[in-house]
Amino acid sequence: MGYLRDAREFDWTFYGGGSSKQSETIADWLKKFEEIKRDGVCATTWKTDYCRPFNQLPAAESISAEVLLSAIAKTTPNTRQRRRFCLAFRQLAQFAGIDMDLGDLLGNYSPTKVQPRTLPTDEQIEACFDKIENSQWQWVYGVIAAYGLRDHEAFYLDLSKFPIAQVLEGKTGYRQCWPLRPEWAEQWDLKNIKRPPVTGECHADFGDRVCKFFARSPADFCAYDLRHAWAIRAMSFGLDASLAAKQMGHSLATHTQTYHLALNEREQQRAYDRILINLSPSQKLGF
């Protein structure tokens, strides 16, 4: 199939796509779609971007634009979920030869339009760490807070170059990151890996384990709030935005668009104070 695509001779109908057999059930179409589409798509992406929307379809019914539109209508407009459903169903419709225009339904969702979070202070993060009784989950909490990790990345971490943390695998692959605050890495003994004995088949599974831990933990915030707090801390500490973005595993554009929204007055004042500390008295007078 790959060589046919490369030669521009690939025809979906040869594999079942574009067929007029609308009497086939949605389950039939999904099975054929997976046989073609699953190749080359990572397990996490397949589970999140395809399986979740497809699981909301009535598998025993015949595929049609009406059925797909009905499933989309159950999602909230201008949300990540709505966008995910539209993108998945648009591909499925094209594969099944169904003419659908979902442009208006996609909405205007963007991560940069999410309202800034009320993030925990460093003092609150430290206090919560001390309240976690299970040392293994305490370590997970600590590395996420100190290194700004995604929730699942704590399970793919190499600390052989401590205090540098190497993320071996994750949503955006390998990268290196440094602790902010550095004293947390030392005080919390993060170099001694104490991962809890949980299992999972993909990144999302480990992320789910972390989410469930936070739900029962003393924290009144989630794992991603620790990651966001790291980003804001990096800005207020004066770490170059391009370096912070690289350590977090995303683009500079994503970093600035997302986190400048959450740079509140407290953090801006802290950054301003740091600038003043480094200025001479004469420079301060003219600032």
What residues does each domain of the chain span? 2-109, 122-277
Question: In 10 A of CB 281, how many CB atoms?
Answer: 6
- pLDDT, residue 109, reads 64
Q: Which helix (H) or strand (E) holds 166?
A: strand 165-167
Question: What is the pLDDT at residue 119?
Answer: 80
For residue 14, what pLDDT is reported? 42
Give pTM, 2 decimals.
0.61
Write down the pLDDT at residue 219.
Answer: 92
Residues contacting residue 245 through CB under 8 Å, at least 6 positions apart:
251, 252, 254, 255, 256
DSSP per residue over 187-204, as a string? HTTTTS--------SSHH
Mention every residue, 6+ apart, whose C-beta is less than 8 A from residue 197.
136
Nearest to residue 63, comparing CAs of 17, 108, 106, 125? 17
State the Cα torsion 220-257-242-174 to the nearest 10°: 60
Domain covering 122-277, topology: hpI Integrase; Chain A (1.10.443)
Tell me the CA distances in angstroms from 217 to 96, 133, 189, one per residue in order: 46, 9, 20
Pairing of strands 175-177, 157-158: unpaired
Q: How many whole angstroms separate alpha carbon 76 and alpha carbon 169?
A: 32
Cα distance between residue 234 and residue 164, in whole Å: 16
Identify the residue whose tokens are 């980003």. Answer: 231
CA dihedral sign, ordered 225, 204, 193, 219: positive
Q: What pLDDT is recorded for position 23?
A: 59
Q: How far apart are CA 141 and CA 151, in angstroms?
A: 9
Nearest CA to 178 out of 256, 259, 247 is that of 247
Closest CA to 220 of 128, 126, 151, 147: 128
Beta bridge partners of 25: 62
What is the sign of the dihedral through the CA atoms of 242, 244, 246 and 248? negative
φ/ψ of 210, rounded to 5, equals -65, -40
pLDDT at 230 (0 to 100): 92
**Helix-helix angle 223-237:135-147, to 10 degrees:** 40
The CA-CA-CA angle for residues 107, 111, 116, to 5°, reads 120
- Strand segments, DSSP code E, in 198-249 are none
- Own/partner pairs, 237-241, CB within 8 angstroms, 24+ separation: 237/180, 237/271, 237/274, 238/271, 238/274, 239/180
Per-residue pLDDT of the chain (287 residues; tens, 9 = 90+): 333 334 344 444 444 444 444 458 999 999 999 998 887 677 767 877 888 899 999 999 999 999 999 999 988 887 778 888 999 999 999 999 998 888 888 877 665 544 445 788 999 999 999 999 999 999 999 999 999 999 999 999 999 999 999 999 887 889 999 999 999 999 999 999 999 999 888 888 888 899 889 889 999 888 888 998 898 888 878 788 888 889 988 877 877 766 666 555 555 666 667 666 665 554 443 43
